[in-house]
Structure 1
Amino acid sequence: MAIESAVSTGLPVWVGYSCRTSNDGDVFLLNRGQDDAFDEALDQLGGLGGSLIAVMHTEIENTIPALSVVKEQWSGSMGAFPHSGNFVMPNWQFKDIMSPEDYLTEAQKWAGMGVQVIGGCCGTTPEHIRVLKEGLPTHVPQV
């Protein structure tokens, strides 16, 4: 497995997952046409290691539910890198991007959960990152 090979280098390894939630609130991996439960994917990670588990390339509204699953099953560092926008085949649509200030409000919630590395994915801009830098603590202890 790629994770085992990466961990064997002795370098820090960040493992990122893209997630979605179902109508009833269950968290799944973001796979086209498949319903792979996120908690089961984390179980498979098991003792393979890694330095950080991140919820990335995920809708902002699905980030907290996915981070909650990580927090239940992982005692290490966490990261969050959600996107803002909509994918309509074959391209991203960046018409309804969350404002940097609203993104900061969400990021403060993630930091409150103990998320130590926060950034952005598709649809976030340098302005989003500037606002995060100015509005988040420089150090978040593991919760």
Structure 2
Amino acid sequence: MAIESAVSTGLPVWVGYSCRTSNDGDVFLLNRGQDDAFDEALDQLGGLGGSLIAVMHTEIENTIPALSVVKEQWSGSMGAFPHSGNFVMLNWQFKDIMSPEDYLTETQKWAGMGVQVIGGCCGTTPEHIRVLKEGLPTHVPQV
């Protein structure tokens, strides 16, 4: 398996998961046509090792529920780099992009949960990263 091979190198390995939340609040992996529960995936794959588990390529409103699942099942470092907007297919034109200031407000919540690595995915711009650099602490202790 890829995670086992990566861990066997002795180098730090970050494992990222894309997630979605159901209408009733359950967190699932973002798989087309499948309903794989995120907590079950962490049970299966989390024991393989890694230095950090991240919630990535995920809608912003699904990030805290997914991070909560990680926090319940993982004692190591956490990361988050979700979308800050949506894109129109084929041309990757982004729309509905969250402002850098609003994105910072969300990321501060993640830092409060003990998330130590914070970035962005689809829709994130250099301005978003500048605002994060200026507005987030330089060190977040593992909670």
Pairwise same-fold verdict (TM > 0.5)? yes
- Measured after TM superposition, the shift of residue 61 of structure 1 is 0.5
Tell me if the contact between 2:87 and 2:95 (Cα under 8 Å) persists in the aligned partners.
Answer: no
Once residues 35 and 20 of structure 1 are traced to their aligned partners in structure 2, the CA distance between those partners, rounded to angstroms, is 10
Partner of 1:30: 30
Once residues 46 and 113 of structure 2 are traced to their aligned partners in structure 1, the CA distance between those partners, rounded to angstroms, is 22
Structure 2's unaligned 5+ residue stretches are none
Once residues 112 and 25 of structure 2 are traced to their aligned partners in structure 1, the CA distance between those partners, rounded to angstroms, is 21
- Measured after TM superposition, the shift of residue 47 of structure 1 is 2.2
- Measured after TM superposition, the shift of residue 91 of structure 1 is 5.0
Give aligned-pair identity as a percent.
Answer: 99
- Measured after TM superposition, the shift of residue 95 of structure 1 is 1.6
Once residues 91 and 29 of structure 2 are traced to their aligned partners in structure 1, the CA distance between those partners, rounded to angstroms, is 21
Tell me if the contact between 2:86 and 2:122 (Cα under 8 Å) persists in the aligned partners.
Answer: no
Partner of 1:133: 133
Partner of 1:110: 110
**Is the partner of 1:63 in helix, strand or coil?**
helix
- Measured after TM superposition, the shift of residue 42 of structure 1 is 0.1
TM-score by length of 1: 0.96
- Measured after TM superposition, the shift of residue 58 of structure 1 is 0.2
Tell me if the contact between 2:52 and 2:77 (Cα under 8 Å) persists in the aligned partners.
Answer: yes
Tell me if the contact between 2:87 and 2:123 (Cα under 8 Å) persists in the aligned partners.
Answer: no
- Measured after TM superposition, the shift of residue 46 of structure 1 is 3.6
Once residues 68 and 14 of structure 2 are traced to their aligned partners in structure 1, the CA distance between those partners, rounded to angstroms, is 18
Tell me if the contact between 1:84 and 1:98 (Cα under 8 Å) persists in the aligned partners.
Answer: yes
- Measured after TM superposition, the shift of residue 65 of structure 1 is 0.2
**Is the partner of 2:34 in helix, strand or coil?**
coil
Closer, same or farther in 2 for the Cα pair 1:88/1:80, shift >3 Å?
A: same
1:75-110 C-alpha deviation (Å, 9 max, x unpaired): 000000001222454454412100000000000000
Once residues 10 and 42 of structure 2 are traced to their aligned partners in structure 1, the CA distance between those partners, rounded to angstroms, is 21
Tell me if the contact between 2:97 and 2:123 (Cα under 8 Å) persists in the aligned partners.
Answer: yes
What is the aligned-residue RMSD (CA, Å)? 1.1
Tell me if the contact between 1:116 and 1:142 (Cα under 8 Å) persists in the aligned partners.
Answer: yes
Once residues 26 and 17 of structure 1 are traced to their aligned partners in structure 2, the CA distance between those partners, rounded to angstroms, is 15
User: In the comparison of the two structures, how many residue pairs are matched?
Assistant: 143
Closer, same or farther in 2 for the Cα pair 1:96/1:29, shift >3 Å?
A: same
- Measured after TM superposition, the shift of residue 123 of structure 1 is 0.4
- Measured after TM superposition, the shift of residue 45 of structure 1 is 1.2
Structure 1's unaligned 5+ residue stretches are none
Tell me if the contact between 1:84 and 1:94 (Cα under 8 Å) persists in the aligned partners.
Answer: no
